[in-house]
């Protein structure tokens, strides 16, 4: 094909069309200005400057993983810490079983998800959505203009739907799948306690979560005792109590409590069924104030009320000394996402209230049967507790809190980067991931590396098979 151009002198010059200036037309006769957008071609100079990277391109993911593991090891920190002082806990350590270490990459991520607050979960999901959209854009997954609007919308919905299913699968896997747990290990004279746990008898508990499931969960997390504090019922506490070991040191003791409402705030009442059943109304939802005042009038026998989170701290009514009614302890750790968020936002306020009002600090898992990660533990030094009966242990715990107040307990928490507010919130994903890597043990780092190498070899084998075919 030629194109004739008249020039001066009457000559005609024929110009041959080449591939560089020829746009082929499809059978559908799509105009050239409507052709699908091609990837941008980098200048030759840029391509030449990156040529040296080609040999390492298949290795980049493994190289990044190794780099992160090595660098984070230089800034390693303990996986647990004192929730009040943020310092290392000398009398306790976090223990991972061989099964946990073997599955470390998966279980570390599951644990991390359990430790996130509501705001952090939202930041995580938004980041994943933005990252997914950018990944599709970077991969050049642009649909041609010939695709009808209806099909275009269907494809977008399918892509987003598959991504959401993948995220939900990870969340549900962490919440439902049975798996090894990281456990705390303490010195012999220290008892690890959970002051807030639920069974299936709570209206919001997992339907199949029995008191014996509660006992097993707490044993796997390293607890020695747990208070069963269901809503509006003592059934779970009674079932757990009836199957307690003869001595507290022979297994996990499930102790009786109940979660009720007082002055608009949710509080846990220790030993509620055995000693203070008469201070509640008929539905076991609220505290009868006159009955509470009467029960609290006997010094040394006052009901121990624990302020639970999330809650309005301005509405909390503390006890003012022996023979008075009121809150005698407050949660510094609450395992529910909303409770975790409030603690991180108001930690300084909670610590100030506990110090000024002589309140004991405690940890509550607020566990309803979902998930396999303990967010915190309450440690109490009670010499000889292992030789006591569960009934006697419950009495000693309550008496110690009444008598000693602030300073009778130590709250230990799992570490997670605090991105609850401020400029850190949008960067939740990289910050909490970096924090998780810093807390890995040597064995966990080896497991991460082994899984990384295994996945890399599988991907290379798949690629070689594809080329051979």
- Residues with Cβ within 8 Å of 339's Cβ and at least 6 positions away in sequence, in order, are 308, 309, 310, 331, 333, 364, 366
CB 325 within 8 A of CB 292: yes
Amino acid 342: pLDDT: 97
| Tokens encoding 291 | 């009955």
Residue with tokens 């006052």: 302
- pTM value? 0.85
Closest CA to 225 of 257, 200, 201: 257
E strands, 32-166, in order:
80-82, 92-95
Q: Which bin fits 233, alpha (ψ -120 to 50), beta or left (φ > 0)? A: beta
User: Taking the chain, what is the end-to-end CA distance rounded to the nearest angstrom?
Assistant: 41
Please tell me what DSSP assigns to residue 193.
E
CA distance 21 to 145: 22
- Beta-sheet pairing, 225-228 with 190-197: parallel
Alpha carbon 441 to chain centroid, angstroms? 19
Point out the residues of the chain with pLDDT beneath 50. Answer: 1-43, 45-47
Amino acid 138: pLDDT: 78
- Residues with Cβ within 8 Å of 115's Cβ and at least 6 positions away in sequence, in order, are 340, 373, 375, 414, 416
CA distance 246 to 228: 18
Ordered alpha helix ranges (H), 243-336? 272-275, 289-296
Amino acid 3: pLDDT: 47
Amino acid 54: pLDDT: 62
Amino acid 143: pLDDT: 67
* Domains by residue range for the chain, with CATH: 74-81+91-177+422-468 (no CATH), 183-414 (3.20.20.140)
Look at the alpha carbons of 279, 281, 282, 285 in this order and tell me if their dihedral is positive or negative. Answer: negative
CB 190 within 8 A of CB 380: yes
Kindly provide the b/e burial profile for residues 60-73, where b requires at least 16 CB atoms within 10 angstroms of the residue's own CB: eebeebbeebeebe
Amino acid 94: pLDDT: 98
CB 279 within 8 A of CB 295: yes
CA distance 334 to 288: 26
Closest CA to 83 of 433, 351, 359: 351
Amino acid 48: pLDDT: 52
Burial of 429 (C-beta count, 10 Å sphere; 0-12/13-18/19+): middle
């Amino acid at each position: 094909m030629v194109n004739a151009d008249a020039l001066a002198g009457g000559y005609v010059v024929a110009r041959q069309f080449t591939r560089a200036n020829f746009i082929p037309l499809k059978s559908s006769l799509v105009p050239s200005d409507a052709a699908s957008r091609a990837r941008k071609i980098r200048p030759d100079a840029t391509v030449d400057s990156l040529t040296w990277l080609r040999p390492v391109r298949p290795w980049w993911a493994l190289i990044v993983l190794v780099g992160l593991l090595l660098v984070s090891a230089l800034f390693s920190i303990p996986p647990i810490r004192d929730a009040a002082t943020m310092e290392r806990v000398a009398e306790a350590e976090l223990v991972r079983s061989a099964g946990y270490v073997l599955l470390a990459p998966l279980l570390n991520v599951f644990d991390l998800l359990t430790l996130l607050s509501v705001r952090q979960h939202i930041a995580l999901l938004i980041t994943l959505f933005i990252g997914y959209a950018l990944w599709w854009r970077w991969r050049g997954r642009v649909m041609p203009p010939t695709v009808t609007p209806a099909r275009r919308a269907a494809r977008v919905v399918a892509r987003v739907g598959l991504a959401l299913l993948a995220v939900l699968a990870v969340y549900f896997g962490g919440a439902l799948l049975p798996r090894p747990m990281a456990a705390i290990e303490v010195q012999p004279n220290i008892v690890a306690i959970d002051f807030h746990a639920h069974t299936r008898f709570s209206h919001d508990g997992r339907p199949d979560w029995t008191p014996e499931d509660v006992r097993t969960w707490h044993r796997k997390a390293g607890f020695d005792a747990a208070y069963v504090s269901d809503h509006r019922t003592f059934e779970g506490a009674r079932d757990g109590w009836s199957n307690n070991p003869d001595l507290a040191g022979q297994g996990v003791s499930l102790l009786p409590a109940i979660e009720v409402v007082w002055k608009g705030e949710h509080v846990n009442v220790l030993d509620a069924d055995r000693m203070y059943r008469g201070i509640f109304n008929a539905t076991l939802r609220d505290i009868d104030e006159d009955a509470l005042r009467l029960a609290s009038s006997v010094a040394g026998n006052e009901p121990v009320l624990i302020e639970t989170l999330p809650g309005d701290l301005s509405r909390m009514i503390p006890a003012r000394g022996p023979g008075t009614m009121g809150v005698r302890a407050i949660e510094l750790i609450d395992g529910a996402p909303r409770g975790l968020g409030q603690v991180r936002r108001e930690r300084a306020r909670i610590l100030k209230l506990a110090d000024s009002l002589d309140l004991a600090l405690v940890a509550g898992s607020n566990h309803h049967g979902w998930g396999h990660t303990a967010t915190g533990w309450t440690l109490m030094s009670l010499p000889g507790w292992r030789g006591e009966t569960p009934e006697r242990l419950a009495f000693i715990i309550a008496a110690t809190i009444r008598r000693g107040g602030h300073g009778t307990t130590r709250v230990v928490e799992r570490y997670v980067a605090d991105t609850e507010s401020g400029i850190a919130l949008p960067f939740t994903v990289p910050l909490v991931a970096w924090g998780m890597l810093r807390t890995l043990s040597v064995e966990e780092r080896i497991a991460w590396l082994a899984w990384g190498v295994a996945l890399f070899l599988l991907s290379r084998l798949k690629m070689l098979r594809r080329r051979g075919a």
